[in-house]
Amino acid sequence: MRADHYAKSKFQYQVTQSDNYKEYQFIPDYAGYVDPIEENRLSYVRRFDPPDGQIKGDLILIHGIGENNIPYIQWFAQQFSKRGIRTWYQLLPYHYKQKPPQMYGGQPYLSANPDICVKRFHMAIRDTRTILDFAEDQKGFLPESCYIFGFSFGGMIATMAMGIDQRIQKGILAITGGNWRWINFYSPYSQAVRQDLYQNSNPYGCQDEADCIKRFRADPVNWVRENVKNVDDIFEKAPIRCYHYDPICYAPLIDRPVLFLKATFDKIMPKNATHDLEVLLPRKTVVTIPTGHKSSIVLRRKILTDSMHFLTNN
């Protein structure tokens, strides 16, 4: 289910009006794949229009893992739209109405099996592309002002979407990273992945960090530099399938401007993961925020100001 093997199709949806946005429930294009989690067979995006109708650009906004991230990141959708950026707030698979009530938001992404994860990650990217298909058909869409903003896990999806889809002209990657070695073995949020690996292994016989380094990830940044010139290279040359959904593989394919926001005291996204993604982005502007991962909410107005300056200046 490669997100780059994708063709535009009719956007089939139902829409409901909320106080300050329209919510679209749409049928996703997962290349014929039927998710065993029934709730995830529909997708959702919230559209925030500029109040005065004057559209300066369109932006796809993507939140991080967990239900609590949805209202936090939605604040940015409201603020961008007030400043003339029509914002499409993508609700990731396995969140909101796309999961059973007892499931933790985003839980199915926390698997040690790359064969499972590659489907789930590329489902999210395909949703991004489907939303963009619909957005570009709307009145006022400006191809030169098509943007993406991803926070944390959403930044990973945004990186891969931008590496695949050339329609996205600028990207904001906030408090995010890549290289699954660092994330899976060091992030407190990946404890479920580690537990799954230690208890069940996976089809590739992965055991622990030392095994991962020895067989697959001795120097993935250098591997990407030497091998990845297009998306086919990722799928045809990677030593294991977790490279297929690793943001560091898609970073060199982004030949457009990126604002890379990182947090000084981030304990959720390992610093090495942030570094490995940062060094592989060719056209980045880096801004460091003096907060932790979750505490970045304290400086959300600075993030907004920096983002608007980046989007509206050449």
Average pLDDT by stretches of 10, the chain with 314 residues: 92 95 97 95 98 96 95 97 98 97 95 95 98 97 98 98 98 98 95 91 91 94 98 97 98 98 96 98 97 93 97 88
Helix, strand, coil content of the chain in percent (nearest 5): 45, 15, 40
**pLDDT at 207 (0 to 100):** 86
Quote the pLDDT of residue 30.
95
DSSP string, 15-55: EEE-SS-EEEEE----TT---SSGGGGSEEEEEE--TTS--
What is each CA distance from 199 to 9, 117, 195, in whole angstroms? 41, 17, 6
Q: Is 122 helix (H, G, I), strand (E, B) or coil?
A: helix
pLDDT at 133: 97
pLDDT recorded at residue 258: 98
Q: Fold for 13-312, please state it.
A: Rossmann fold (3.40.50)
Asked if 148 and 256 touch (Cβ cutoff 8 Å), the reply is: no
pLDDT of residue 314: 72
* Helix (H), strand (E) at residue 172: strand 170-174
Domain regions of the chain by residue span: 13-312
Tell me which DSSP letter residue 92 carries. P
Give residue 38's pLDDT. 96
- Give the tokens for residue 70: 């949805």
Predicted TM-score (pTM) of this structure: 0.97
**In whole angstroms, what is the distance from residue 231 CA to residue 219 CA?**
19
pLDDT score of 136: 97
